[in-house]
Homo-oligomer: A and B are copies of this chain.
Amino acid sequence: MKRPTIADIAKRAGVSKGAVSYALNGHAGVSETTRKRILAIAEEIGWSPNTAARALSGSVAFAIGLPLCRPARTLGSEPFFMELVSGLETELSTRSYALTMQVVADVKAEIALYRRWWAERRVDGVILVDLHVNDPRVPVVIELGLPAVIIGNPSGIGGLTGVWSDDAGALTETVEYLVALGHRRIARVTGLPDLLHTRIRDDAFTAIRERLGLAEAVIHPADYTGEESARVTRRLLSSAHRPTAVIYDNDIMAVAGLAVAQEMGVRVPADLSIVAWDDSPLCKLVHPSLTAVSRDIPRYGARAARQLLAAISGARIENYQDATPRLVPRGSTAPPTQTAPPAPAAPPTQTAQTAQPDRA
């Protein structure tokens, strides 16, 4: 099949290609009647603009870029990205913008990707996720003049704006809730330590610990994977003064923590309360269902897309702080049954054989 072009439309309508272009783009320069006629013809012959031609003359790619800098396996099991993508899409698709994704191995590769995308005119703007402390991507994006929106708190990052929610506030609220239930020994198991939002939550945790005098509250760094979370949780639950409540930095780690508790015969929520940071369908599926800190990530993505499109069309954009994440209490949190030294974990009988995986 041959694709129709504006030349075809022009011939049919008996006007010049320029006139067709004006009509199609809603510019001044054609009478209302001919515009209508031209639009009707375009519709009839199934014309869509050739993006390449448009990009070449108008210098817009009608695409935005989202680099994904996490290993494939982590990517798959975290709902965050797909939810973000679907949110971005709701805005982009209505304006015929495409979303170009690319998996990169590390920050260095991601920076190279920005340069390549810029040189290729592949995208009109980019979304930055997982900001690090002193993130080296930021100066590069600024230098290239590539419109960008950060997913996360951009404070301290000169020159780029972001869309984020008040993680510090949500963390404080969560700890206060656990304390109100009677918990004192509260642990926080974190995501990758040099991510900016990990830092922000860490700081909030430390602040509330000081304020409420929770001497035994501790932070344990992990990396978002279930494996690492299981390891950390096992160590935590084996300690003499084991925590009565744990806050995990994502849903996967929380589920892994729950499984370790079950494996060690620690009852949830009687002996141990669990809070998952990002809420997800998964949190509602496990038993007991997990109390979680919930954000509307698709809305988040939609907002970021709108900001980015505005920036691309030349508008000055502002930072946007979304609603504070909500704490959604479910079955995994309760008052601790005992604040005295905990009973030693009873070795489970029924499930002991399942400890070694892959017994075939």
- Rounded to whole Å, the gap between the CB of A112 and the closest CB of chain B is 11
Q: Verify B51–A230 contact, CB threshold 8 A.
A: no
Q: Residue A52 contacts which of B61, B96, B116 (CB distance < 8 angstroms)?
A: B61
A289: chain B residues within 8 A (beta carbon): 259, 354, 357
Residue interface mask A332-360, B partner, CB < 8 A = 1: 10100000000000000011011101111
Q: Verify A99–B98 contact, CB threshold 8 A.
A: no
Assess A280 versus B330: contact at CB under 8 Å? Given A55-B52, A98-B122, A99-B102. no
Residue interface mask A268-294, B partner, CB < 8 A = 1: 011000000000111011111100000
Q: Residue A287 contacts which of B50, B285, B354 (CB distance < 8 angstroms)?
A: B354
Q: How many chain copies does the complex carry?
A: 2
Stretch from A24-32, A84-92, A126-134, A161-169 at the B interface: A84-92
Does A174 sit within 8 A of B, measured CB to CB? Answer: no
Q: Verify B86–A103 contact, CB threshold 8 A.
A: yes
Q: Which residues of A90-140 are within 8 A (CB) of B?
A: 90, 93, 96, 98-103, 115-116, 118-122
- Rounded to whole Å, the gap between the CB of A106 and the closest CB of chain B is 14
A179–B144 Cα distance when bound, in Å, is 63
Does A331 sit within 8 A of B, measured CB to CB? Answer: yes
A76–B250 Cα distance when bound, in Å, is 14
Q: Verify B281–A48 contact, CB threshold 8 A.
A: no
Residue interface mask A192-216, B partner, CB < 8 A = 1: 0000000000000000000000000
Q: Verify A280–B77 contact, CB threshold 8 A.
A: yes
Q: Verify A89–B102 contact, CB threshold 8 A.
A: yes
Does A150 sit within 8 A of B, measured CB to CB? Answer: no
- Rounded to whole Å, the gap between the CB of A213 and the closest CB of chain B is 26
- Rounded to whole Å, the gap between the CB of A121 and the closest CB of chain B is 5
Does A320 sit within 8 A of B, measured CB to CB? Answer: no
A50: chain B residues within 8 A (beta carbon): 56, 119-121
Q: Residue A281 contacts which of B55, B63, B252, B281 (CB distance < 8 angstroms)?
A: B252
Q: Which residues of A227-278 are within 8 A (CB) of B?
A: 230, 252, 255-256, 258-260, 262-263, 267, 269-270
Q: Verify A53–B51 contact, CB threshold 8 A.
A: no
Residue interface mask A65-78, B partner, CB < 8 A = 1: 00000001101111
Identity of the chain B residue whose Cβ is nearest the Cβ of A52 in the assembled complex: B55
A56: chain B residues within 8 A (beta carbon): 50, 52-53, 56
- Rounded to whole Å, the gap between the CB of A79 and the closest CB of chain B is 4
15 additional A-B residue pairs with CB within 8 Å, beyond A1-B143, A330-B357: A3-B121, A4-B119, A50-B120, A51-B120, A56-B56, A75-B82, A76-B86, A77-B282, A89-B101, A225-B281, A230-B285, A252-B281, A252-B282, A255-B282, A286-B286
